[in-house]
């Protein structure tokens, strides 16, 4: 568990607020995510479930899509708030990979129902993300 600064607290409150918009008729599990861009802007998303289950979209990816649609592609922090008193909800593998498209040095804040907050970086959560050979994130691109 960790302390948060004022900006992180603001981000956590944004994630908590958007969590109430979650569409979760199947699981009842509500998640809110808020991203802070390097320009200071905040972008939010909630989970949106689907009858086909596999098409369900996570809060983290929905927040990222909203951010990119508004022109923001550089981020510093994501706060994730899930419902319930169960274990803290770390991002799923799909969300980790999608967030990694926009950098590995994000701070990730996982927030519980009480005051508990876990802190990590995306690099810690996904140390070996997929990188398309020859793509824009390939460290060897341009060496061929
Ligand atoms: Zn996810």
Q: Where do the domains of the chain lie, and which CATH numbers do they carry?
A: 6-125 (3.40.140.10)
Supply the pLDDT for residue 126.
96
Q: What are phi and psi of 120, to 5 degrees?
A: -155, -175
Question: How remote is the CA of residue 89 from the centroid of ligand 1, in Å?
Answer: 10
Higher confidence at residue 17 or residue 86? 17
CB 40 within 8 Å of CB 11 = no
**Active site residue: 13, 60, 76, 124, which one?**
60
Residue 1 has pLDDT above 80, yes or no: no
Q: Collect residues with CB below 5 Å from ion ligand 1.
A: 58, 92, 95
Would the pLDDT of 140 be above 90? no
Residue 144 has pLDDT above 60, yes or no: no
Whole-angstrom Cα distance, residue 81 to residue 69?
22
Q: Where are the beta strands (DSSP E) in 4-125?
A: 31-37, 42-46, 75-82, 107-111, 117-121
How far, in Å, CA of 116 to CA of 132, rounded? 36
The span from the CA of 14 to the CA of 59, in Å, is 12
- Which residue in this structure is represented by tokens 């390939």? 138
Query: Is the model's pLDDT at 95 over the cut of 90?
Result: yes
pLDDT for residue 77: 97
Q: What distance in angstroms lies between residue 96's CA and the mean position of ligand 1's atoms?
A: 7
Work out the pLDDT band at 143, boundaries 50, 70, 90: low
For ligand 1, the distance from its centroid to the CA atom of residue 90, given in whole angstroms, is 9
Quick one: how far is CA 15 from the chain centroid? 10
Q: What is the mean pLDDT of residues 97-101?
A: 97
The answer to whether residue 60 is catalytic is: yes
CA of 142 to the centre of ligand 1 (A): 32
Provide the pLDDT for residue 139. Answer: 86
């Amino acid at each position: 568990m960790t302390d948060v600064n004022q900006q992180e607290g603001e981000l956590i409150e944004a994630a908590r607020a958007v969590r109430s918009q979650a569409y979760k008729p199947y699981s009842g599990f509500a998640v809110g995510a808020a991203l802070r861009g390097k320009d200071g802007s905040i972008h939010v998303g909630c989970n949106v479930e689907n009858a086909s289950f596999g098409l369900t979209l996570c809060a983290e990816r929905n927040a990222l899509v909203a951010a990119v649609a508004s022109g923001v592609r550089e981020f510093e922090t994501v706060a994730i708030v899930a419902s319930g008193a169960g274990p803290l909800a770390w991002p799923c593998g799909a969300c980790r990979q999608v967030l990694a498209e926009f950098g590995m040095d994000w701070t990730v804040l996982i927030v519980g129902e009480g005051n508990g907050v876990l802190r990590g970086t995306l690099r810690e959560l996904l140390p070996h993300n997929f990188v398309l050979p020859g793509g824009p994130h390939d460290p060897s691109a341009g060496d061929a």
